[in-house]
Amino acid sequence: MQIIPAIDVIDGKCVRLTQGDYSQKKIYNEHPLEVAKQFEDAGLKRLHLVDLDGAKAGKVKNWNVLETIASKTSLSIDFGGGIKREEDVKIVFNSGATMTTVGSIAVKNETEFVRWLLIFGADKFLLGADVKDEKIAVSGWTETTDIWVYDFIQKYMEHGVEQVFCTDVNKDGKLEGPSSELYKNIIAKFPQLHFIASGGISSLKNIEELVEMGCGGVIIGKAIYENKISLKELTNFAS
C-alpha cells in the first residue's frame, strides 16, 4: 500500500476544497514546499500535487510550485490540473513530475490522450476517474457523463494505463470514509490494476480497510491537514 499525501494549490498556497467547491476553500499553508518536506521527513515517498488554478483555467498554472518541490525533495510527484494540451504535458515533465495526472482529457478527447500515451509512455500517466453514482464526472465535478466507470477503466487499461485513482464526488473532503463498495467492485473487475483510493479518508481504520480489499495506494489530503491522521501514524503504516 502506497501512502500518497495530497497538496492542492491555489495562488501558490496549500489549500483544500470540499467536494471541489472553490467557494469552500481553506488555506493550510502559504508554502507548499514546507508541507512537502514534512511528508518527506515522515518517510513518505510519493506526492499527489494538484494545480487547482490550472484546473479552473484549463492550462497548467502552478508549474513553479512543482519545480520547487521536485528540486528540493526526493518525492515522486504526480501532477495534475488543467492538462489539456501536449504542451502542458511537456511542462509538467520538464518541471520534475514523475507522472502526469489526467482526467477530463481522457473523457472528452480520447484520440488526443491515446496519442500522449504513445508519445510519452502509458506508465507516465496517472488516470483519474472521478465518479458520481458509478458514472464519470468531469469539469470540476460540475458535469456527470453517462460513461460507466468500469468501461472507462477497461478502455484505458487496454491502452496500457497501469495506475488509476478514483474519487467519489459524494465523499471528497467530507471525512466520512471512503467509497468502499465502489472500490471493491473495481478491484474485483480489474485485479491487475494498480488501484488508488481517493476521497473521504478520515482514519487509520479506513486505510486498513483499503489494504484488506486490495488497494495499491491511497491519496490522503484533508485528514492530514485536519489532524485526523498524524504523519507519525502514516510513517508507521508505510514502513
- Per-residue pLDDT, averaged over 162-171, amounts to 89
Structure-derived torsion over alpha carbons of residues 78, 171, 22, 17, reported in degrees to the nearest 10 = -60
For the annotated catalytic residues, the residue numbers are 8, 130
For 2-238, CATH number out of 3.10.129.10, 3.20.20.70, 3.20.20.80, 3.30.2130.10 equals 3.20.20.70
For residue range 222-232, list pLDDT tens digits in order.
999 999 999 99
For residue range 32-77, list pLDDT tens digits in order.
999 999 999 999 999 999 999 998 899 999 999 999 999 999 999 9
Q: What residue ranges do the domains of the chain occupy?
A: 2-238
Give the ranges where the chain is alpha helix by DSSP (H): 32-41, 52-57, 63-72, 86-94, 104-108, 110-120, 149-157, 180-189, 204-213, 222-225, 231-238
